[in-house]
């Protein structure tokens, strides 16, 4: 068992959530090919169209995995087939669940092959993940793009 796996529980099949809880899920966006095909089959036609717009296969596969896993997670809260989950979209393009899941709120973030999902009930939620990489030239970049700070 890796250190990361030690801190995460195995996901239950059916879950319920109260208004006082936030559940956090994680997923690797580089599943084996059979799992990627399975996840792809759960996507809506508009999600498949968006996936097909990616130039690089890796980015397309990450999109399919991220949205497929989101559907799988949300299906566990509703005991619904992930392919039957429908979304509406806010004016800014944020996906929202429609009946019978309109009380479930979620957010997802992904970076460098890892996705995090936050799920709660009847309130907005946000989550963010960002890959931190070494930047040996950070000081030179800062000097080039930012003005010096005058400290009193």
- Can you tell me the mean pLDDT for 6-25? 81
- Angle among Cα 127, 29, 44 to the nearest 5 degrees reads 85
Q: Could you give the CA distance from residue 80 to residue 100 in angstroms, rounded to a whole number?
A: 10
Share of the chain above pLDDT 70, in %: 93
Instruction: Check residues 60 and 140 and name the one with the higher pLDDT.
Output: 60
Query: 117 has which bridge partners?
Result: 25, 108
Residue 118 has pLDDT above 70, yes or no: yes
Print burial letters for 68-77: b (CB count within 10 Å at least 16), e (below 16).
Answer: bbbbbbbbbb
Share of the chain above pLDDT 90, in %: 60
Identify the band that residue 133 occupies on the pLDDT scale cut at 50, 70 and 90: confident
Residue 119 has pLDDT above 70, yes or no: yes
pTM score, whole prediction: 0.83
Residue 70 has pLDDT above 90, yes or no: yes
SS3 content of the chain, % helix, strand, coil (to 5): 35, 20, 45
CATH number for the segment(s) 3-145: 3.90.470.20
Compute CA 121 distance to the chain's CA centroid, rounded to the nearest angstrom.
17
Q: CB 46: neighbour CB atoms within 10 A?
A: 10
3-state DSSP call for residue 142?
Answer: helix
Residue 12 has pLDDT above 80, yes or no: no
Instruction: Give yes or no for a contact between 99 and 38, defined as CB atoms under 8 angstroms apart.
Output: no
């Amino acid at each position: 068992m890796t250190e990361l796996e030690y801190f995460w529980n195995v996901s239950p099949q059916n879950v319920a959530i109260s208004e006082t809880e936030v559940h956090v899920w994680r997923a690797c966006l580089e599943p084996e090919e059979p799992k990627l095909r399975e996840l792809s089959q759960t996507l809506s036609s508009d999600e498949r169209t968006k996936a097909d717009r990616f130039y690089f296969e890796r980015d397309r596969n990450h999109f399919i995995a991220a949205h497929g896993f989101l559907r799988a997670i949300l299906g566990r809260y509703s005991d619904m087939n992930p392919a039957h989950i429908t979304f509406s979209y806010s004016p800014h393009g944020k996906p929202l669940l429609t009946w019978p899941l309109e009380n479930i709120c979620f957010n997802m973030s992904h970076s460098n092959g890892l996705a995090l999902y936050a799920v709660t009930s009847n309130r907005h939620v946000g989550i963010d993940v960002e890959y931190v990489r070494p930047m040996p030239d950070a000081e030179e970049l800062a000097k080039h793009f930012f003005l010096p700070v005058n400290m009193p």
